[in-house]
A and B are shown apart, each in its own frame.
Chain A
Amino acid sequence: MDLSFSEEDLAFRDEVREFLATALPADVKDRCDRGLHPTPEGQIRWQKILNEKGWMAPNWPVEYGGTGWTITQKHIAAHEFGHAAAPIALPFGVSMVGPVIYTFGNQEQKDKYLPRILNSEDWWCQGYSEPGSGSDLASLQTKAVRDGDDYIVNGQKIWTSFAQHADMIFCLVRTDSSAKQQEGISFLLIDMKTPGITVKPIIGLDMEHSLNEVFFEDVRVPVANRIGEENKGWTYAKFLLGNERTGIARVARSKRQVERLKDIAKAERCGGHTLSFCNDFNNKLTRIEVDLMALEYTELRYLSMIASGKQLSAEPSLLKIKGTEIQQRLTGLLVESLGMYGAPYEAERAYEGRNEAPVGPDYAHGPMAEHLYLRAATIYGGSNEIQRNIVSKMVLGL
């Protein structure tokens, strides 16, 4: 057991810092720090910079374009990215479908899709959930019927994040209705431009458009776009969900939120002082900070176990549960820190062409949007109730 950083680690940290200080565009940083959704243009601009540096996919094996960082280096990079409010690459390509493709895909699929993910040519979205199949994902109904070298896909996906910008969607589809639910699912990669696909917006609580319904009507998908074997899609889907859960903890981002809260508390006036003198506020913030520290070391401990070849069962669910609860407590406290300036709110598109900054102090622009959106953090990626079910069953044997 050892927590210290080596000389090389410290040099690496300086390199990351230096890179972020010079390469991160100010507009991208500003949105990320405020907790606003990235603009598609800004996100892609930043991802291209990351890719040029070779840092687009730190978790990928080196042969596919990964960085080959040690877990210590990954931890350092994540911390520095969080601290600098540097967005990480969109998860749908790099963190979700990418690993599925290099783990279960064929050579042709690897050659075709992995480079396009790395240089942001394809924007991916995730077609898992359906109106009747959320927590009970395996009950999904979207059908794919074989027709020569194609599948014909019919059905509907819902809650598809950022599908309106997407070039590609990875989909779970039912290819065998007679088998046990989990045994009749296949994993397809579908070009969003294929005839028969319709994307309909869903406006969220935050009054922004990130969610969509995606409809499939006789959509022809080449069989060559299937990952792995027919009817084995559930295995790949679960592999992906395992990765998704770890990513969702977002410890580094939460550490940045703690810093922001401390900055706001020094500026926000309260009771003739600043909020930083308010005991109730400080207590709440400190409790979150300590919980977050515990989470950070839990994550590191698990990563170390994995690095040493140990097999984890459902422990990553803990990271998802605690990580998202902390995110929600933080955005709740951010909103609280604003006093009544938490209440003014308009969708971002309302400001277009208006040349008028949002009302209140500058730091008041962002927290409510993020607070509203992150109510979903305990719902998406497998709800926290489902995660607790998993831990109780898999880890505790209940």
Chain B
Amino acid sequence: MDFELSDEQNMLKDSVERFVKDNYSSEARAKLADTELGFSRDHWKKMAELGWLGLPFPEEVGGFGGTAVETAIMMENMGSGLVLEPFLSTVILGGGLVAEAGSEVQIEAIIPQVIEGNMMLAFAYAEPQSRFDLNDVETTATKSGDGYVKKGHKAVVYHGATADKIIVSARTGGNSRDEDGISLFIVDNNSSDVTRRDYRTIDGQRAADIKFEDAKVGADALLGEEGGAYPVIEKVVDKAIAALCAEAVGAMQAANNITNEYMKERKQFGTPIGKFQVLQHRMVDMYMEAEQSKSMSDMVAMKLDLDDETERRKAVAAAKAQVGQAAKFVGQQSIQLHGGMGMTDEYSIGHYFKRLTTIEMLFGNTDYHFKKYAALAS
């Protein structure tokens, strides 16, 4: 048993830390979040050059064969700076699905492009009625000629506006909540029979609602086996959840550091507010939540690549539930301990709170994962 990082992993950590330090001061981030794009293509290029965009992919598809631990290291450190580039959407989700289920042709067409930073992806899975259930798919893809016709509405697709290609789950068979009968398709984001509504999210990122009204795709758009996509989706989403947990840990640790510093500086009643015991204990609770989350995030990163699927699912559900709870507590209390200062858009702490708030919802909120864990553990 060993929770320590290897030398190589430490180098990776240092390199992400440096990137965040150089590029993600809170002013720089605020500026970036307010641009049309919402992130920086230059940063993306830099991430490609540093090899980060290829790290999570297996060597067979041209990647550098990193494990979930390397992904967690990157995400944790990006979380501490609230990095805005679509690493999760493009590399872990989109790229993960293609690497997992793609044909040789599809992999060749997409993965090298992703690794070089020339192609961005997004994963459209949620629908207005689905809430957090990956199997609740009402978007249909009906065979027509040698392709498919798609109809349906995908909701809150993170980075759905900026992706070059969108991977869409759709039903090719079965009933609306069946696990069987779900397929994946690779859709060009600029195709004319797709309507997209782009918008901002509270965490400074971008998302889109996407509607398909009899949108045609060729047979070559099918990613993986027709009707058999569910296990692939679940596996890749589990990876995304583990990555998000790591991001949350980084964000919580940073929020705690900022709050801790503030408590030493801010004086009321002639003394630093950090001298008030009620605030000390609150801060200790926040610290403990971040520590517990770090342990869960490390645990899930080490269990993610296990062959035992039930064990993996349990680890993921438990980690997301714990991290979700902690994220809420740490985010909200960091505002509270800052007083009025915490309520401003200009000061950084509010942005940590907002990102932690969406992390709690993404891919299933705390209740959802407690319930999932209970079902798996019983």
Which residue numbers of A lie inside 8 Å of B, CB to CB? 129, 132-136, 139, 158-159, 202-205, 207, 211, 268-272, 280-281, 328, 332, 335-336, 339-346, 350, 359-361, 368, 372, 375-376, 378-380, 383-385, 388
List 11 additional A-B contacts (Cβ < 8 Å) besides A360-B155, A372-B354, A380-B340. A136-B269, A336-B361, A339-B132, A340-B155, A341-B155, A343-B361, A346-B199, A359-B197, A359-B199, A360-B209, A375-B335
21 contacts between A and B (CB under 8 A): A133-B268, A135-B268, A136-B268, A136-B269, A204-B345, A205-B354, A207-B345, A270-B131, A272-B136, A332-B328, A343-B201, A343-B358, A346-B199, A359-B209, A360-B128, A376-B343, A379-B335, A380-B340, A383-B339, A385-B276, A385-B279
> A204, A270, A271, A344: which contacts B200 (Cβ < 8 A)?
A344
> B267, B332, B346: which contacts A202 (Cβ < 8 A)?
B346
B54 within 8 A of A: no
> B129, B130, B136, B207: which contacts A344 (Cβ < 8 A)?
B207
Known contacts A205-B344, A379-B339; A281/B268 CB under 8 A: no
> B128, B132, B332, B358: which contacts A375 (Cβ < 8 A)?
B332
B342 within 8 A of A: yes
Which residue numbers of B lie inside 8 Å of A, CB to CB? 126, 128-133, 136, 155-156, 176-177, 197, 199-203, 207, 209, 267-270, 276, 278-279, 328, 332, 335-336, 339-340, 342-346, 350, 353-354, 357-358, 361-362, 365, 367, 370-371
Main secondary structure of the interface of A (DSSP, over half): mixed
* B contact residues around A268 at 8 Å (CB): 131
Q: How many A-B residue pairs have CB under 8 A?
A: 129
> Once bound together, how far apart are the Cα atoms of A345 and B342, in whole Å?
19
> Once bound together, how far apart are the Cα atoms of A372 and B207, in whole Å?
20
- Tell me how far the C-beta of B324 lies from the nearest C-beta in chain A, rounded to whole angstroms: 11
* A contact residues around B335 at 8 Å (CB): 205, 375, 379
Of all A-B residue pairs in the complex, the 4 with the closest CB atoms, nearest first, are A345-B202, A269-B129, A340-B156, A136-B268
* A contact residues around B353 at 8 Å (CB): 205, 375
* B contact residues around A346 at 8 Å (CB): 199-200
Most buried by A among B176, B336, B370: B336
Most buried by B among A280, A344, A375, A376: A344
* A contact residues around B131 at 8 Å (CB): 268-271, 339-340
Known contacts A269-B129, A361-B128; A340/B343 CB under 8 A: no
> Once bound together, how far apart are the Cα atoms of A290 and B177, in whole Å?
35
> Once bound together, how far apart are the Cα atoms of A383 and B339, in whole Å?
8
Contact B336 A375 (CB under 8 A): yes
- Tell me how far the C-beta of A390 lies from the nearest C-beta in chain B, rounded to whole angstroms: 13
- Tell me how far the C-beta of B254 lies from the nearest C-beta in chain A, rounded to whole angstroms: 17
> Once bound together, how far apart are the Cα atoms of A132 and B126, in whole Å?
47
Contact A343 B339 (CB under 8 A): no
Contact A202 B344 (CB under 8 A): yes
* A contact residues around B340 at 8 Å (CB): 129, 134, 158-159, 211, 376, 379-380
Contact B156 A205 (CB under 8 A): no
* B contact residues around A328 at 8 Å (CB): 332
Contact A345 B200 (CB under 8 A): yes
Contact B342 A375 (CB under 8 A): yes
> Once bound together, how far apart are the Cα atoms of A388 and B276, in whole Å?
13
- Tell me how far the C-beta of B348 lies from the nearest C-beta in chain A, rounded to whole angstroms: 12
Contact A339 B342 (CB under 8 A): no
Contact B202 A368 (CB under 8 A): yes
Most buried by A among B156, B209, B354: B156
Contact B345 A340 (CB under 8 A): no
Which residue of A has the minimal Cβ distance to B197? A359
* B contact residues around A207 at 8 Å (CB): 345
